[in-house]
Amino acid sequence: MFGLSIEHILVLVVAGLFILGPERLPGAAHWLGQSIRKVREYASGAQEQLKSELGPEFDQLRKPLQDLQTLREFNPRTVVSTYLLDEPAPAVPQAANGAPVTPTPTPLRPGERPPVDPDAT
């Protein structure tokens, strides 16, 4: 949802219990849920209104924002090897929707040491 793990949510619930108390916490959670739902409705309504008013220009407006999203996958080592060392950039696998696929790391076996990147330390 907001990048929160189960542990973070549990800590927030416990903090809410201490701050609000058990009798006011359900009401506060209900209010928070309704507020988030309203904000999502307003945002989707505004997006639909922009789409209807701008038409095909809306996609042109979103393109720079999508280009900024690709900066999240920026790897300086790839840039250096591509431009300074004339090595070809490795191909980035993409999903069916065109988004880059991030490989899932394999978990370490018992007793196995994690890899160390001497350039990062």
Tens of pLDDT, residue by residue over 68-97, are 777 777 777 777 777 777 666 556 666 666
**pLDDT score, position 28:** 87
**Does some domain include residue 17?**
yes
Beta bridge partners of 94: 100
**Does some domain include residue 101?**
no
- pLDDT one-digit tens code per residue, 47-71: 888 888 888 887 787 788 777 777 7
Region of residue 55 (phi > 0: left; psi between -120 and 50: alpha; otherwise: beta): left
**Does some domain include residue 99?**
no
Number of domains making up the chain: 1
**Does some domain include residue 105?**
no
**Does some domain include residue 103?**
no
Where residue 12 falls among pLDDT bands split at 50, 70, 90? confident
Task: Read off the amino acid at residue 86.
Answer: D
**Does some domain include residue 27?**
yes
**Does some domain include residue 32?**
yes
For 45, the domain range is: 6-83
Cα(13)–Cα(8) distance, rounded to whole angstroms?
A: 9
- Helix and strand element counts for the chain (H, E): 4, 0
- 108 exposure class (CB count in 10 Å sphere: 0-12, 13-18, 19+): exposed
